[in-house]
Structure 1
Amino acid sequence: MSAPDCLTVVQLIATPGGNWGGMEKHTADLSAELVRRGHKVHVLAHPEYQNRFSNTIHFHPLPVQWGRRNPLLKWRLRKILRELSPNVLHAQGNKAAAMLSGEGKPGSVTLGTLHGTKSSHKDFDKLDGVIAVSKGIQQALTHPDTKLIHNGIRPHGNSVITTHRIPESQDFALAIGRLEPVKQFDNLIAAWATLKPQLPLYILGNGSEADALRSQIERLNARGFIKLPGHEDNPAAWLQHASVCVISSGREGFPYTLVEALLARCPVLSTPVNGALDLLPADSLAASTDPGALQTLLSERLADLEGLKNSQNVCFERASQELTLEAMTNLTADFYYQLLRKKTAN
């Protein structure tokens, strides 16, 4: 029996509410595009996320803040799945993969998207297929049926409405992300304060490190050329004006900042994290995630911003073809049908 043209797809997010990050955004964008193409999508997630999804998507609140082995949570999940009888059960992240293990039925497939590297991926081994968002993640998998699908986004258009005023009268560098230790903005600030480049640095975002980073900027007497405006609803507009975007993270799954920057044709300098290793030329990557390596990269590449941008023209073109929501959804839907055909053949 062949798979139907219109699939019933369940997307499971097991994040316990609160944070809305790259994985959750990925799920919302993918779900909306699948619905636009005629598929029926049901999202199972924490009730706090309901207003994040279009009303064309069927949302089912689930108390995922409970432990993955909680018997009541398991019972609720199985009850919903019995009622929906989906063709595709798609887990987003590790906890969701653990919850879907063993839930597949004849005629349906289970798969998961791995958004970051973990010490163990055993829960994904029990699914029919696995999507990795970067080469580094895919190489860490032992599953026999994996697919590399980079994150893609819908073009933002030309909206000029921003949360914070863009410094359009001057060149500037930009970094974007949650102000959390994994982003290593303290290393970036230290390097910028030491090098004192001709262009100021703006770091957009909020998080637990905000006060510590502001104190660091004061301590280094860098308040005049390193700014922390706060969270920005429209980073794409900033990227269209920035001279360079810097990623200083210690680890990443596949950073949306990288996607947004390349689509805005803004050159990127980065630590050697997943995503950046896939898409950027070697001379745009630091030798390691250590503070000294980032400072060396900035010292070498900030001196010739025009040359840096020219060196990444091929990256911009690749992004326009491969890092769109349309391209991501094409590959994801193709993988759904591939797994369904394989399941039917067996």
Structure 2
Amino acid sequence: MKDSHVEILQALLGQPTAPFHEQAVVDQVRQWSAGRGIDFSQDRAGNVVLRHRVGQPVMRWAFEAHLDHPGFQAVSADGSLVRADFLGTVGESYFPGSRVRLFAPAGPVAGRIVGYCRADRAEWPVCEVELDSPAQVPAGTIGMWDLPDFELTADRLTSRACDDVVGCAAALAALEEIVACGQDADVTVLLARAEEVGGMGVIAAAEDGVLPGDSLVVGIETSKAQPRAALGDGVVVRVGDRVRTFDASLTAAVAAVADELARRDGDFRAVRQLMPGGSCESTIWCLWGYRATGVCLPLGNYHNQGDDGRIRSEQVHPGDFECLVKLLAALAGSTVTPEQRDRQAKARYEDLMRRRGKFL
């Protein structure tokens, strides 16, 4: 991996995050942007918006990822016992006995879950966490699973929160590449809040028109690995998620750029696949009238749910990350629109009809 990409990953993955509590990651993105002269702003919902426009690009791209990961929010504390809501989706069987790290004002404290309850009509399940030693844990303190924030080997990038902080890092790394090469480009990176509790940040952005209506939106995710989209297979051009398929013409255009990259770069790998492990924000963009598709990295231990029934670190392949960055940068510089690619495809079928239609 490029050293600059590793630096971005370490900086973002080293921060605590949970739905509605993404500020530490936001601060890192603000610092990164300031060091590179990239325009940084936040919309009314607190989503991060980075904008870069140079020259006269053919298309307006929007790369979107989310800042949060399933996590805990302290509600109350009594000595060594902390009650905390869990914000996100993890199977109930994973909670009993699992270890949690709470990021209290005086410093992180750890403990284990000794109680779990999901009351009827309650917005979130509530956990009881017994701390290893008494500590001040105010209401609103966030927590994550007590796992390493970043580990890297030749074939594994491991973290407590790959989903989707790694997606955010990929967007920044791609934007860095786009700025460095000086190509004509119109790119907005939108890093959204509170995806893990229903895509709240993206819904707010879509309702407010934060992205121009002619944006070509590419949602960036890590998604549960599939038999034909495994770790090491490359970046996934995502046809759809568990809820629906995405914009067909835009998806085909992204796949065509991936094919062109594969022909000229022997290290680039990509697969085209429906990823039904969960729903993602590309579905929301489509429902709100945007042209949207998705790309993702195959993810191991989705939402920290290990195959052995225990809480585990999430995993992606470093090579897949590099392929994702290459694809995003190539999209920003592409000059053939989805409509032009559709016309080219139709022309091939029309030529076949002229030659073979007489045999009908």
Which TM class, normalised by the smaller chain length?
under 0.3
Structure (1/2) with the larger strand percentage: 2
Q: Which structure shows the higher helix fraction?
A: 1
Select the structure with the greater relative contact order (CA < 8 A; seq sep ≥ 6): 2
TM-score normalised per structure 2: 0.26
